[in-house]
Chains A and B, each alone.
Chain A
């Protein structure tokens, strides 16, 4: 019975954060662009979330006749499922997690690799040139960044001596990992942005070039799932950054641990949105160059140095 409550609680928190981000992102972007943003529906425009959700539900859920129907319907679900499954291993508090897997990080990496399928299949099943180009870009980008996303976490794994998120958080009681693993943190954060294909790495969507990339043909709640999936991805990467590098639920004890975790997560969500507000989209070859020529050697170097120091200290 306790697990049902925990699962329901985590789902509630995660999905309401993801839905609330619709409003948060628009308001924050407008603050950084000297505008006001949506402030008409309800207090501070908070009703915008409800209004947008109702709008998405009542839109025509149209499947184009030229599409590959079963795959087209399946694709947005894969994205949601892989991201929501990953939240199962993220510890929201000392006793507030669905299960503590001893391969937690591998579980996350595997799920995020599966997430690529959602976009590739969605772009492929749309049977549309722009969607296909978007899907191709997405797959190349996400595979590239997957490589050193995993490598950048290995430093943390070596320091904590475990793949389990709970053990990693407990290992940070002496000091958060973002100081010894600063390069790992930077590389993981950049890879995380690319993995959720958020701006400035929104090359798969690139509305200036590809209309909306892989989800051009999607409408109604199927588009809504891609949309919320993107926000879920942001939440996930922010949660993981705060768990792996900023001590997760650790914090001064005058507030409950869950609060510290959510506070750190929200901070990184804001950084994601700030990135969107300030940076232009790189060219495709620049993205690949950054990945293979700079970030991959950097994460390998980080791995090497961390390993050497750990052996030296033993």
Chain B
């Protein structure tokens, strides 16, 4: 009997508690910067596409929602001819971001992508590609390493050593 009255009283005291509800469309929740939401393709500081169409993201994707086709421009720089993410399949695991060697594909704190038509969930390259650098600024894959496509000379990258003269005997 006492415990019943006590539990009623304790329930009543909740009148003075703060409500837990977040009124979502009016009040947006805080999303941390590393939140895994909508996927974007970024560009480097020179506004060139970072993606080198290596297919690693498509290979890492556990639900096979990424499809792309590699091609090259006249300088030999690889880029995707098309890049398609089917967000009705995507599980936002972030494996593609982990697999990407050039920071091109990134997940950003945005989840409001509901659509009435399922077909609209398929994002093409023009929807994915943004003009900025995303979360990782100042990184340009071609300046660190990689083939010569007019960004830097052979062996002149930041982490690169000069090419070895294979006809030289000295160590």
**A: which residues have CB within 8 A of B?**
30-36, 274-275, 277-279
A274 in contact with B12 (CB, 8 Å): yes
Could you jot down 10 A-B contacts, CB within 8 Å?
Answer: A30-B19, A31-B14, A32-B14, A32-B15, A34-B14, A35-B20, A36-B19, A278-B7, A278-B11, A279-B8
Assembly CA distance A274 to B10 (angstroms): 10
Assembly CA distance A278 to B13 (angstroms): 11
Does B4 count as interface, using CB distance less than 8 angstroms?
A: yes
B19 in contact with A34 (CB, 8 Å): yes
Q: How many A-B residue pairs have CB under 8 A?
A: 33
Name the CB-closest residue of A to B11. Answer: A278
A274 in contact with B8 (CB, 8 Å): yes
Residues of A within 8 A of B12 (CB): 32, 274, 278
Which chain B residues (2-24) contact chain A, with CB distance < 8 Å?
4, 7-8, 10-12, 14-15, 17-21, 23
A31 in contact with B15 (CB, 8 Å): yes
A278 in contact with B23 (CB, 8 Å): no
Name the CB-closest residue of B to A200. Answer: B4
B8 in contact with A34 (CB, 8 Å): no
A34 in contact with B17 (CB, 8 Å): yes
> 0/1 per residue, B101-141, Cβ < 8 Å to A?
00000000000000000000000000000000000000000
Ranked nearest first, the 9 interchain pairs of A and B with the lowest CB-CB distance are: A278-B11, A36-B21, A278-B8, A32-B14, A34-B20, A278-B7, A277-B11, A32-B11, A34-B17
**B: which residues have CB within 8 A of A?**
4, 7-8, 10-12, 14-15, 17-21, 23
Among A35, A278, A279, contact of B19 (Cβ-Cβ < 8 Å): A35
Assembly CA distance A250 to B8 (angstroms): 28
**A contacts with B: majority SS:** helix
Assembly CA distance A279 to B21 (angstroms): 23
B11 in contact with A34 (CB, 8 Å): no
Name the CB-closest residue of B to A186. Answer: B1
CB distance from A191 to the nearest CB of B (A): 16
Assembly CA distance A275 to B7 (angstroms): 9
Known pairs A30-B19, A36-B23, A274-B12 / 4 extra A-B pairs, C-beta < 8 Å: A34-B18, A274-B11, A278-B10, A278-B11
Assembly CA distance A30 to B19 (angstroms): 9
Name the CB-closest residue of A to B7. Answer: A278
CB distance from A280 to the nearest CB of B (A): 9
Residues of A within 8 A of B18 (CB): 34
A275 in contact with B14 (CB, 8 Å): no
Residues of B within 8 A of A274 (CB): 8, 11-12
From known contacts A34-B20, A35-B21, A36-B21, infer whether A279 and B7 are also in contact, taking CB-CB under 8 Å. yes
From known contacts A31-B15, A33-B14, A34-B17, infer whether A275 and B23 are also in contact, taking CB-CB under 8 Å. no
Residues of B within 8 A of A32 (CB): 11-12, 14-15
Assembly CA distance A277 to B21 (angstroms): 18
Assembly CA distance A32 to B19 (angstroms): 9
Residues of A within 8 A of B7 (CB): 278-279
CB distance from A270 to the nearest CB of B (A): 10
Assembly CA distance A30 to B4 (angstroms): 20
Name the CB-closest residue of B to A40. Answer: B23
Assembly CA distance A98 to B58 (angstroms): 78
Assembly CA distance A277 to B4 (angstroms): 12
Assembly CA distance A36 to B24 (angstroms): 12
Name the CB-closest residue of A to B21. Answer: A36
Among A33, A36, A275, contact of B8 (Cβ-Cβ < 8 Å): A275
Assembly CA distance A34 to B10 (angstroms): 13
CB distance from A252 to the nearest CB of B (A): 25
Assembly CA distance A35 to B7 (angstroms): 18
CB distance from B169 to the nearest CB of A (A): 79
